[in-house]
Amino acid sequence: MKLDPINIRILEILQKDADQPLDALSEQVNLSRNACWRRIKMMEEEGWIKGRVVLLDPMKLGLKLSVFVQVRTDSHDADWMETFASAVRMMPQITGAYRMTGDLDYLLHIQVADMADYDAFYKRFIAKVQVSDMSASFVMEQVKETTALPLNAV
């Protein structure tokens, strides 16, 4: 399936508010309710839409400290990578983990309550995974964060 302009518009709208009524969505893209629903279902079945989630406010949950951690390792074998991936999946404070090119090996995004909570996370993490270096940068101001992907080039 190729995304046509109507499908792209549906995706743009759903990325901003996936909870809006189908009638409102179909009106915005000038389709009948059923035609709009069929397009959404097809995009879900074909994997264009991976899921629908609720975005929570970390501040209201007491998770006030956002941290980016650069991880370096001297080990790149399959066992180490599986140990690392397993530890990342088991620790809910890690909201993003990325294998990188360049000077660092991995970049982690972590959300915790405060510095003491980060320190506890750090100790649990290095007990699970052998790393050569971990360097943390603490977010002072969130200028932009979005889950919406740019669709103007599709």
Contacts of 93 (CB under 8 A, 6+ apart): 110, 111, 112, 117, 121
The two tokens of residue 151 are 């669709």
As a whole number, mean pLDDT of residues 59-83 equals 96
Portion of the chain with pLDDT greater than 90, in percent: 95
Domain 5-45, what architecture? Orthogonal Bundle (1.10)
What is the domain partition of the chain in residue ranges?
5-45, 65-138
Taking 90 as the threshold, does the pLDDT of residue 154 lie above it?
no
pLDDT band (50, 70, 90) for residue 36: very high
As a whole number, mean pLDDT of residues 68-90 equals 96
Task: Give the pLDDT score at 126.
Answer: 97
Taking 90 as the threshold, does the pLDDT of residue 145 lie above it?
yes
If DSSP codes are grouped into helix, strand and coil, which group holds residue 33?
helix
As a whole number, mean pLDDT of residues 115-137 equals 97
Which CATH code for domain 65-138? 3.30.70.920
Task: Give the pLDDT score at 97.
Answer: 98
Rg, C-alpha atoms of the chain: 20
